[in-house]
Each structure stands twice: as structure tokens, then as C-alpha cells.
Amino acid sequence: MNKRILLFILLGIVVAIQFIPVQRDNPPVESEIPAPSLVREILEQSCYDCHSHETEWPWYSHVAPVSWLIAHDVEEAREHLNMSRWNDYEPAKQHELREEMWEEVEEGEMPRWFYIPLHPGAALDETEKELLRYWAIGEISVALSGSANTADH
């Protein structure tokens, strides 16, 4: 087969797949995750794009086949943990989810490695990780007082 014909066929496929619909929605926020402002900032910068109804859909999320992958990842992430529906979880489940969040961060699973290059602000430094850990185990006041003490020195 001629290379030119193959190129036109491939181009036709790329154009055609752009018309396959992909759901990129942000339903209304039903409830916010209760967290101190420092922790909330960390969650918003590193977690909300996938785990809330406040997803920012970048331009490349409108280009197939990347759009399919991003929409799928957001859907799965929201199914597992949705910070915009926090009050839907029973208190025991909320506690479990906070612990799971920390475990994922501690193990380097979250934020995902492929998310960081396009969202470098989502990468967590050691101080942010420490705040998340204290929040997850319910000892955030200890972490905040420790941060305040180090800021004074």
C-alpha cells in the first residue's frame, strides 16, 4: 500500500475518533471535605482534578484518544473517593478514606506519576506530606503547631 494512502487513512481515523463523545462534567459540589486551610490547599492542588467535582479539563482532555483516558481516570477516581460528596460517606468510611489517602501519598502512588509533568504544582514536598499524614490520622493540630514553631525560628 502506498505510504500516502496509509497516511490519509490514518488521518481520517484520527479525525473520526474526535467525534466519539466523552463525558467531561463537573456536577454541583454537594459537600466539601472538612480540612484546615493548609490541608485543603494541598488537596485542591494535588487531588481535586480527579477526586472532586472541580476538575479542570485542559485542552488536551478534548482530543481523542487522550480524552478517553482522562475521562476514564477521573470517573474511576471519583468512584473511589469524591471530595465533593464527602458527607455521603459514613464517619468510619471518612476515616478510612483519609488513611487511604495518606497511604497512597506515602507509597508514591498519588498523585500519579503521569499527572505531575503537566501539573508540576501537584507534586508534594515533605512538609505537605507531613501535614497530610497528621490530618489523615487526626492529629492535625500537632502538625500545625509544629509548623508554626518552625516558622518562628
104 Cβ contact list (under 8 Å, min separation 6): 110
Q: What is the pLDDT of residue 140?
A: 72
User: Which structural domain range is residue 71 located in?
Assistant: 3-152
C-alpha cell read off for 62: 478534548
> From its phi and psi, is residue 88 left (phi > 0), alpha (psi between -120 and 50) or beta?
alpha
CA distances from 25 to 56, 59, 73, 81 (A): 10, 14, 13, 16
123 Cβ contact list (under 8 Å, min separation 6): 46, 111, 116
Number of domains in the chain: 1
Q: What is the pLDDT of residue 138?
A: 86
Q: What is the pLDDT of residue 153?
A: 38
Q: What is the pLDDT of residue 149?
A: 43
Q: What is the pLDDT of residue 141?
A: 58
pLDDT along the chain (153 residues), means of 10: 88 88 92 92 96 96 94 97 96 95 96 94 96 88 50 40
Measured between alpha carbons, how far is 141 from 138 in angstroms, rounded to an integer?
Answer: 8
DSSP 83: T
Q: What is the pLDDT of residue 91?
A: 94
**pTM as predicted:** 0.82
Q: What is the pLDDT of residue 15?
A: 86
